[in-house]
Structure 1
Amino acid sequence: MLWRSLLLAAGAAIAPGVDAATLRFSCSQLVVERLDPIVNPGANPSPHLHQIVGGNAFNQTMDPSVHDLPSTATCTTCTPSEDLSNYWTATLFFRARNGTFHRVNTFGNELGYTQANGGQTVYYLSNGKVTAFKPGFRMTVGDPTFRSAQELSAKYKFLDFTCLQTPMTRGGQTLDFPKQPCPAGIMVSIRFPTCWDGRNLDSPDHQSHVAYPNNQNQCPSSHPVAIPQVFYETYWDTRPFNNLAEWPVDGSQPFVWSFGDKTGYGIHGDYVFGWKGDALQRAMDQNCNSDLFVNQINCPTLEVQSLQQANQCVKKTSVSENIDGWMTALPGANPIT
Structure 2
Amino acid sequence: MGRIARSPRKRSTLPRRMTLAAAALILGGGGLAAVNFYASASEGGGGGHGSSGHDMAQMRMVSTIDCPDVGNSLSTVPDSAKSRVDRQLADIDTQITDAYTKFADNKDRIQRDPRLADTMVLAPLKEQRTDAIGRIADATGQSDLKAKGLAPCTMRAADDPSSAAQDGQDGQGGQDGQDGQGGQDGQDAQGSGQGNDGGVQAFAASASASGLSRRDFVDIRSVRPNVATPPARRAASTGSFTSDCGRNENGKRNPDNVIVAPGVSNGAHHMHDYVGNQATDAFSSDGDLARGGTSCRNQGDKSTYYWPVVRLLGQGNDADANAKGGGKDKNLGKIQTPAQSTIRFVGSPVGKVTAMPRFLRIITGDAKAFTNGDANANASWSCTGFENRQLKDKYPLCPQGSKVVRTFHFQSCWDGKNIDSANHRTHVAFADKAGACPAGFKAIPQLVQRIVYDLPAKAGAFAVDSFPEQLHKPVTDHGDFIDVFSDQLMRKVVDCVNSGRSCA
Shared topology, TM-score over 0.5?
A: yes
Give the match for residue 287 of structure 1. Answer: 497
Q: Judging changes above 3 Å, is the alpha-carbon distance between structure 1 residues 139 and 126 closer, same or farther for their aligned structure 2 residues?
A: same
Could you tell me which of 42, 65, 68 is aligned with 2:263? 42
Q: Displacement of 1:265 after TM fit? A: 0.4
* In the alignment, structure 1 residue 212 sits paired with structure 2 residue 422: no
Amino acid at match of 1:126: G
Give the match for residue 143 of structure 1. Answer: 366
Q: Judging changes above 3 Å, is the alpha-carbon distance between structure 1 residues 289 and 62 closer, same or farther for their aligned structure 2 residues?
A: farther
The separation in 2 between residues aligned to 1:176 and 1:163, in whole angstroms, is 15
Give the match for residue 90 of structure 1. Answer: 308
Give per-residue Cα distances to partners, 1:85-120, cap 9 Å, x unaligned.
Answer: 0100011122229999423423343xxxxxxxxxx2
Q: Displacement of 1:50 after TM fit? A: 0.2
Give per-residue Cα distances to partners, 1:170-201, cap 9 Å, x unaligned.
Answer: 22221133353554331100111111111111
> Does the 8 A contact of 2:394 with 2:474 survive in 1?
yes
Give the match for residue 39 of structure 2. Answer: none
Of 192-201 and 16-25, the range deviating more from structure 2: 16-25
Could you tell me which of 437, 447, 463 is aligned with 1:256? 463
Could you tell me which of 389, 410, 418 is aligned with 1:172? 389
* In the alignment, structure 1 residue 61 sits paired with structure 2 residue 271: no
Q: Judging changes above 3 Å, is the alpha-carbon distance between structure 1 residues 107 and 55 closer, same or farther for their aligned structure 2 residues?
A: same
The separation in 1 between residues aligned to 2:407 and 2:242, in whole angstroms, is 14
Give per-residue Cα distances to partners, 1:132-163, cap 9 Å, x unaligned.
Answer: 21122112111111128x933x4455x21013
Q: Displacement of 1:256 after TM fit? A: 2.4
The separation in 2 between residues aligned to 1:102 and 1:58, in whole angstroms, is 24
Counting matched residue pairs gives 256
Q: Judging changes above 3 Å, is the alpha-carbon distance between structure 1 residues 208 and 271 closer, same or farther for their aligned structure 2 residues?
A: same
Question: SS in structure 2 opposite 1:285?
Answer: helix
Please tell me whether Structure 1 or Structure 2 has the larger radius of gyration of its CA atoms. Answer: 2
> Does the 8 A contact of 1:257 with 1:264 survive in 2?
yes
Give the match for residue 327 of structure 1. Answer: none
Question: TM-score if structure 1 supplies the norm length?
Answer: 0.66
Question: SS in structure 2 opposite 1:278?
Answer: helix
Give the match for residue 404 of structure 2. Answer: 186
Identical-residue share of aligned pairs (%): 22
Give the match for residue 333 of structure 2. Answer: 102
Question: SS in structure 2 opposite 1:23?
Answer: strand
Q: Displacement of 1:235 after TM fit? A: 1.2
The separation in 1 between residues aligned to 2:434 and 2:237, in whole angstroms, is 17
The separation in 1 between residues aligned to 2:346 and 2:416, in whole angstroms, is 19
Question: SS in structure 2 opposite 1:20?
Answer: coil
Structure 2 spans left out of the alignment, 5+ residues: 3-224, 318-330
Give the match for residue 129 of structure 1. Answer: 352
Q: Pairwise CA RMSD of aligned residues?
A: 3.2
Higher RCO (CA-CA < 8 Å; seq separation 6+): 1
Question: SS in structure 1 opposite 2:491?
Answer: helix
Give the match for residue 330 of structure 1. Answer: none
Amino acid at match of 2:414: W
The separation in 2 between residues aligned to 1:173 and 1:194, in whole angstroms, is 20
Q: Judging changes above 3 Å, is the alpha-carbon distance between structure 1 residues 98 and 25 closer, same or farther for their aligned structure 2 residues?
A: closer
Question: SS in structure 2 opposite 1:190?
Answer: strand
Give per-residue Cα distances to partners, 1:200-240, cap 9 Å, x unaligned.
Answer: 1101221110011223321111x4211111111111231xx
The separation in 2 between residues aligned to 1:79 and 1:12, in whole angstroms, is 32
Amino acid at match of 2:387: R
The separation in 1 between residues aligned to 2:388 and 2:445, in whole angstroms, is 23
> Does the 8 A contact of 1:141 with 1:268 survive in 2?
yes
Structure 1 spans left out of the alignment, 5+ residues: 110-119, 245-251, 291-296, 305-337
Superposed counterparts of 1:19-38, under 5 Å: 19-28=237-246, 29=248, 31-38=252-259
Question: SS in structure 1 opposite 2:244?
Answer: strand
